[in-house]
Amino acid sequence: MRKIFAILLLFAFVNTVKADQLEWISKDEAQRAAELIRQTDFVFLYCGCCDNSPVTKAFVNGIDIVYTGSENYYTLLLSYIDESGEYQSETIDLAYVWMYFEMEKYTVGQLLGLEHDPCSNGDF
């Protein structure tokens, strides 16, 4: 019985975890990504790898580089205004932060040449 409970608990946990690919990155990658995001008015937050993930249009208010406390990894903290006018702040995964470049949507990870799977072609 304990094994069945443990398997069910693990299955429930795995299905709720977001697929982090480019959330913890090097300081250089974080600096390059922050500079790129600072050049735009808004980004789209969309996890193509996540079931029923909504698309959020985020009007960029600020971006900070934050040390994760682990080895040489950093993350980005995006402050933004959502479409309903609410102020939001969250760490971001560059595999799921989209922006326009030459009239097409790309992830910030793609624009920086970082290996990842955006799980979408940007047609959301």
Q: What is the CATH number of the domain that holds 44?
A: 2.30.30
Total number of domains in the chain: 1
Backbone dihedral region for residue 103 (phi beyond 0: left; psi -120 to 50: alpha; all else: beta): left
Tell me the torsion sign for CA atoms 52, 77, 39, 82.
Answer: positive
In a domain, 64, yes or no: yes
Is the predicted pLDDT of residue 54 greater than 60, yes or no?
Answer: yes
In a domain, 117, yes or no: no
Structure tokens at 34: 């922050």
Mean pLDDT to the nearest integer, 67-74: 96
The pTM (predicted TM-score) of the whole model is 0.82
pLDDT band at 6 (very low <50, low <70, confident <90, very high): very low
Is the predicted pLDDT of residue 94 greater than 80, yes or no?
Answer: yes
Domain span holding position 64: 19-111
The Cα-based distances of 77 to 1, 14, 24, 30, 101 in angstroms read 42, 24, 11, 10, 22
In a domain, 116, yes or no: no
In a domain, 4, yes or no: no
Is the predicted pLDDT of residue 13 greater than 70, yes or no?
Answer: no
